[in-house]
A = this chain, B = another copy of it.
Amino acid sequence: MLSLILAESSLELVPFAIQSHPSIMSHADKLGKHPSKILLDNSWHFAGMKGIENEIKRGRPDLVHFSILEATSIPLYYENKLKFFIHTTNDKVISFTENVHIPKSYHRFAGLFEKLFLEKAIKSSNQELLSIKDQSFSQLIDELGPSQVIGLSTAGKQNSFQHVAANLDNDSCIIVGGFQKGHFSDSVSKRIDHLFSINSAPLESHVVVARMLHECEKTIFM
């Protein structure tokens, strides 16, 4: 089956080292939660995040939320023709089972994913809807065993969404960056078989996800 991985996604709980920073304490207080139980969010925690490792790729749960919705609100996903995974900057992998409806309201999305990070799975009537485990990008690729790994990045060879989609087979795996700025790290790049640039200027992740999956859907459903 076709799969999509949002790689190095900006999604995590506030790390221990900065939980006592005033910007984070006051936001957690506002939410009525312990700092260890809230998503790291640059729009609230900017001051506390200054200088943390890999800062540029962290603390943008809003961007990840949009990409998740673009991938899970479409026929390709709800007709079970797409496997979707979030790989995070600190090597966790979130799996979405079939037909999961992710909240569109941001505070509900945040609450759900905070619960997922803390409890490792979200279940409904004993069915696992979402699960998270420690896994590197490379381990996830080994587990999936795709026929080819196609990465999308401005650093790649010029191409178009349409042409990339037309050359996929059923077991291809598409990689889109789940971060705001920068390029794939070496540990992701080394597992990508073909890297394509589908626009001269950088596009937001959610735009890339929406366009790429629409073209795949057209090819698959035709």
Interface size class of A (residues with CB under 8 A): 20 to 34
Interface flag for A166 (CB, 8 Å): no
Number of copies: 2
Query: Quick check: B207 and A70 within 8 Å, CB to CB?
Result: yes
Decide if A207 touches B210 in the complex (CB within 8 Å): yes
A62 and B214 contacting across the interface, CB-CB below 8 Å: no
Q: Mark A18-40, 1 if CB is under 8 A from B, else 0.
A: 00000000000000000000000
- Which of A99-107, A138-146, A186-194 contacts the other chain? A99-107
Within 8 A of B (CB), among A49-96: 60, 62-63, 66, 69-70, 73-75
Q: Does A115 contact B (CB under 8 A)?
A: no
Query: Shortest distance in angstroms between A202's beta carbon and chain B's nearest beta carbon?
Result: 11
Contacts of A69 in B (CB 8 A): 66, 204, 206
Q: Which one, B66, B70, B161, B207, contacts A74 given CB within 8 A?
A: B207
A133 at interface by CB-CB < 8 Å: no
Chain B, Cβ-Cβ closest to A209 = B210
Given contacts A75-B199, A201-B75, A214-B214, contact A104 B66 (CB under 8 A): yes
